[in-house]
């Protein structure tokens, strides 16, 4: 029988960050960033829509536990320490976000142009995760 190698995965469907304070994460991601909340389980997680992807924000203490619902047998998982996500934004949007984040007390750690000219800003969520907003041309030059 021939080895039928499937094509590589397409788009990213979901990405996860782990936080030590879900309430602070909800204020940050849902409030300050204005992301649309799609699902919440108190004490465990809150999920947000980002275009065609979902941002999963978990409490690692809860997700490291074996599943208690046999209908949802998601294996235990989690991470400790700061993760990283990069959001897509235009140059004008980056400027507006830098002002909004700074006004809300979330300082910009770095603001620079990459060798290809794309601009990025870096900042932190309340749990210390490293977040970036970058022009799409950072990775996709035709944008």
Residue pair 72/118 in contact by the 8 Å Cβ criterion = no
The number of domains in the chain is 2
State pTM to two decimals: 0.90
Residue 54 in domain: yes
Tell me the percentage of the chain whose pLDDT exceeds 70.
99
**Token pair for residue 23?**
């309430």
What integer best gives the mean pLDDT of the chain?
92
What is the CB-side half-sphere exposure of residue 17 using CA atoms within 13 A? 27
Neighbouring CB atoms inside 10 A of 134's CB total: 18
Does 95 lie in the same domain as 139?
yes
- For 32, the domain range is 11-64
Q: Does a structural domain hold residue 74?
A: no
Q: Is the pLDDT of residue 2 over 80?
A: no
The stretches of the chain forming alpha helices (DSSP H) are 22-25, 60-63, 91-103
Of residues 63 and 97, more confidently modeled: 97
Q: Which pLDDT value is given to residue 109?
A: 97
User: Maximum distance among all alpha carbons in the chain?
Assistant: 62
């Amino acid at each position: 029988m021939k080895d039928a190698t499937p094509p590589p995965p397409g788009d990213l469907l979901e990405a996860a960050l782990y936080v030590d304070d879900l309430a602070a994460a909800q204020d940050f991601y849902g409030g300050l960033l204005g992301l649309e909340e799609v699902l919440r389980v108190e004490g465990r997680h809150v999920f947000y829509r980002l275009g065609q992807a979902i941002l999963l924000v978990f409490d690692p203490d809860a997700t490291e536990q074996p599943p208690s619902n046999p209908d949802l047998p998601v294996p235990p998982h989690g991470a400790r320490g700061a993760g990283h996500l990069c959001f897509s934004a235009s140059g004008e949007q980056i400027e507006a976000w830098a002002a909004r984040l700074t006004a809300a007390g979330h300082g910009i750690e770095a603001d620079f142009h990459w060798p290809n000219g794309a601009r990025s800003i870096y900042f932190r969520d309340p749990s210390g995760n490293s977040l970036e907003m970058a022009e799409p041309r950072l990775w996709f030059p035709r944008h």
